[in-house]
Amino acid sequence: MPSNKVVYVCENCGYESPKWLGHCPSCGAWNSFRELKLNRVAPRAKETGKSYKLHEVPTQRHVRVASGIGELDRVLGGGFVCGSLILLGGEPGIGKSTLLLEVASRMCGVGEKVLYVSGEESLAQIKLRADRLNVSSDIYLMSEPDIEAIESETKEIAPSFLIIDSIQAVYNPGVDALPGSISQVRTCADRFTKLAKENNITTILVGHVTKEGIIAGPRTLEHMVDVVLYLEGDRNYHYRIIRGVKNRYGSTNEIGVFEMTEHGLTEVRDPSMLFIQDGGKTSSPGSAVTCVLEGTRPLLVEIQSLITAATYGTPQRVGTGLDYKRLVMLLAVIERYLGYNLSRYDVFVNVVGGLRITENATDLGVVASIASAATGHPLPVGMLFIGEVGLLGEIRPVFQLKKRIEEATRLGFKRCAIPKGQKGVTSTMELVELDHIDKLKRWLT
């Protein structure tokens, strides 16, 4: 006979425990455990498993369908893989539904059948947004949070693409829990997975993010799907970045850049021009240009720094788009090896355009920007700075320097400061090799 097992799940992070706990050992939340009943089904008879040698396993070639949106296809690795399950996360109002309506319209334009299911909006609301975006009228729309009704309609229509907006709004009537709870999200995601694989339907699930910036629901949700995408951006900017953090059929950490307009999300095919002032043709004190590598794409970004006298006690160290600890370390290196006393000054550093950078190859650009702000001298026009800075002030080699320099050359930059002794780098632009940050002083006096 089938039996039921009871476990307790943290609503905040999805941690499971065989007994109730007042404090979650995983995320530290208090009073977050809820009871979850797992239905145990008696195992059915099946053929005995058999092993195969690696060379005996037939190779399956995944069929891809291009979305028609170049920036999205770049992140996906060339398009949607038929029958795959994709999770798209992002803050409320960032543009997830807008992007997916555009995707649905492009798919209908090439003859694919698309079912768009919303558990949060009425059909009239979806129609209003679709009219504003001027999308295809051949999209099948459904406003229904009940997963059983969604499954029934999907099997009847037999679409090649299924969009669920959102997984937190869908519920299973057989589960005694509220929509959006850990148990509901898990069971609904499991059923969508089976629906996608058994019927070869490319399925996109929209997921809301928590205040920590992760997709709400159990962590197993990201493990169940084939692709995890995040749509990022600051509401104060018109630009949105879609980033792949998991992809079973392609590379990760690729990004696509979009601009939010009154007609929806528009592709930005040359994003480097968004993040540098006047294309690098002018220079101001505190401004420096560097190059960051996002996946396989080099992007030129502008770093801006402002240094003012601290009037409220402890000096502030504020970095927007930068790792705070990395910024504090670079400030210590600047004070030690460039001789600038910043202990009585507030230091503000910003990556222009709302981009978030994490790689160390931008260290030299950050140091040059802060040093320029400290001295009040602008850096040379048409010059960028690439290199990792060590604790001793030395400038260390970086990955894919040649590709970064090629991007800068394409955009009209004439000179680049690079790590001394890095091999295999040639360019038509002037390459200035630096071994230590004290060599920056030649441009700051």
Q: Is there a contact between 289 and 413 (Cβ–Cβ < 8 Å)? A: yes
Instruction: State residue 210's pLDDT score.
Output: 65
Q: Any binding-site annotation on 95? A: yes
Instruction: State residue 42's pLDDT score.
Output: 46
For the chain, which residues make up each domain, given as ranges?
A: 4-39, 62-269, 274-443
Question: Mean of the pLDDT values across residues 375-386?
Answer: 93
Q: Is the pLDDT of residue 47 over 60?
A: no
Q: How far is CA 201 from CA 4, 60, 145, 244, 249, in A?
A: 31, 17, 19, 21, 16
User: How far is it, in rounded angstroms, from Cα 257 to Cα 356?
Assistant: 13
Q: Any binding-site annotation on 271? A: no
| 274-443 has CATH 3.30.230.10 classification | yes
pLDDT for 190-242, tens place per residue? 999 999 999 999 999 998 876 555 665 556 688 889 999 999 887 667 888 89
User: For residues 233 and 361, which has the higher predicted lDDT (pLDDT)?
Assistant: 361
Q: How far is CA 267 from CA 64, 68, 241, in A?
A: 21, 11, 10
User: How far is it, in rounded angstroms, from Cα 311 to Cα 313?
Assistant: 6
Question: Mean of the pLDDT values across residues 312-325?
Answer: 92
Q: In the structure encoding, which two tokens stand for residue 356, read together?
A: 């978030």
Q: Any binding-site annotation on 94? A: yes
Q: How are beta strands 255-261 and 239-247 bridged, if at all? A: antiparallel
pTM for the model stands at 0.77
Q: In the structure encoding, which two tokens stand for residue 56, read together?
A: 């005996």
Instruction: State residue 397's pLDDT score.
Output: 94
Question: Mean of the pLDDT values across residues 401-414?
Answer: 90
Q: Is the pLDDT of residue 290 over 70?
A: yes
Q: Is the pLDDT of residue 358 over 60?
A: yes
Question: Mean of the pLDDT values across residues 326-350?
Answer: 95
User: How far is it, in rounded angstroms, from Cα 312 to Cα 203?
Assistant: 53
Q: Any binding-site annotation on 365? A: no
Q: Is there a contact between 39 and 226 (Cβ–Cβ < 8 Å)? A: no
14-28, 43-57, 268-282, 286-300: range with highest mean pLDDT: 286-300
Q: In the structure encoding, which two tokens stand for residue 217, read together?
A: 């629901």
Q: Which fold has domain 62-269?
A: Rossmann fold (3.40.50)
Question: Mean of the pLDDT values across residues 4-21?
Answer: 80
Confidence tier at 68 by pLDDT (50, 70, 90): confident
Instruction: State residue 213's pLDDT score.
Output: 56
pLDDT for 99-134, tens place per residue? 999 999 999 998 999 999 999 899 999 999 898 888
Looking at the chain, the whole-number percentage of residues with pLDDT higher than 90 is: 51
Least confident of 186-190, 252-256, 297-301, 403-407: 252-256
Looking at the chain, the whole-number percentage of residues with pLDDT higher than 70 is: 92
Q: Which residues contact 213 (CB under 8 A, 6 or more apart)?
A: none
HSE, side-chain direction, 13 A CA sphere, residue 192: 34
Q: Any binding-site annotation on 315? A: no
Q: Any binding-site annotation on 93? A: yes
Q: What is the mean pLDDT of the chain?
A: 87
Domains 62-269 and 274-443 share a fold: no
56-60, 212-216, 284-288: range with highest mean pLDDT: 284-288
CA dihedral 238, 239, 245, 251 (to 10 degrees): 160
Question: Mean of the pLDDT values across residues 284-308?
Answer: 92
Where helices occur in 27-95 by DSSP H, the ranges are: 70-76
Instruction: State residue 1's pLDDT score.
Output: 42
Q: Any binding-site annotation on 90? A: yes
Instruction: State residue 361's pLDDT score.
Output: 95
Q: How far is CA 372 from CA 53, 200, 306, 334, 376, in A?
A: 62, 57, 9, 11, 6
Q: Is the pLDDT of residue 49 over 70?
A: no
Confidence tier at 275 by pLDDT (50, 70, 90): confident
User: For residues 275 and 420, which has the higher predicted lDDT (pLDDT)?
Assistant: 420
pLDDT for 332-342, tens place per residue? 999 999 999 99
Instruction: State residue 38's pLDDT score.
Output: 62
Q: Is the pLDDT of residue 36 over 80?
A: no
Q: Any binding-site annotation on 286? A: no
